[in-house]
Every structure is written in C-alpha cells, then in structure tokens.
Amino acid sequence: IFSGPDAYISPAWYEEKRLTGKVVPTWNYVTVQAAGRLTLHPEPEWLVPHVRRLVERQEAGRADPWSIDDTPEGYVETQVRAIVGLELRIERLEAKQKLSQNRSRADVEGAIVGLDSGEWRERDVAAAMRRARDR
C-alpha cells in the first residue's frame, strides 16, 4: 500500500455548516494498493546500484552533494548487508482517493482554503483536491 497525501477536514470549512449545520469532520486521502510477485534481494550486487540511484536522486541539487564514491572502498557493500531490497512485479493496481467529491463546490472550495492554511501535508491534499475538481 502506497499512501499519498492525507489530512483531517474540519466541518467548519464547509459552507453547509453555515447553511444547515449538517456536517461532520472527515479525512481526505489518496492511496494505491499494488499486488504482484514480490522478490527479496539481500545481495549487495543488487542493492548497491539501487542505493546509488536513490542517493543520486536525493542529493541532486544540493550545494555539496554526498556520493557513495565518497566512502572507503567496500564500505557501502558492508552497510547494505543491513537492508533488504524489494522488487515487486506488479500484476494489479487499485487506486482510491477521497477528496470531498460528495460535497458541493462551495464546500470543496472552503476545504481547499482551510487546507491551504495548514502545513505541507494539508497543502498537498488541497493540491490533490484542486486537480480532482478541475478534471
């Protein structure tokens, strides 16, 4: 299961609260479930190239990027013995998003404004709600 953004939705953000009061809190989220054949890879020959790509991606754009090549020879190979790589050959994907699709446009807009005033997690949900709204 891969979780995307998720956040609490306050009923105070809904226009419906002002109109009827018939609102309750909820939780909006995006998630994907993948099913398939899983292979474990404990061997350093498989892990090191994958760790290298991950590090390169995460270090890209930094003023002083770290590289696996900065370590003494053989060091990374000993360290990857503490992890196990996973390879999933995906046979089925199931995605689900609950982004206030059942609410009026005014309620959705109110939730987006409320989420935009929050932290990064809430702002990510607001962005997902905008994409769903604009489809």
CA distance linking residue 101 with residue 99, whole number of Å: 5
Domains present along the chain, CATH in parentheses: 1-35+100-135 (2.30.110.10)
pLDDT of residue 100: 96
Give the model's confidence band at 71: pLDDT under 50 very low, under 70 low, under 90 confident, else very high: very high
Predicted TM-score (pTM) of the model is: 0.75
pLDDT of residue 27: 98
| Mean of the per-residue pLDDT values of the chain | 96
For 89-100, the pLDDT digits (tens) are 999 999 999 999
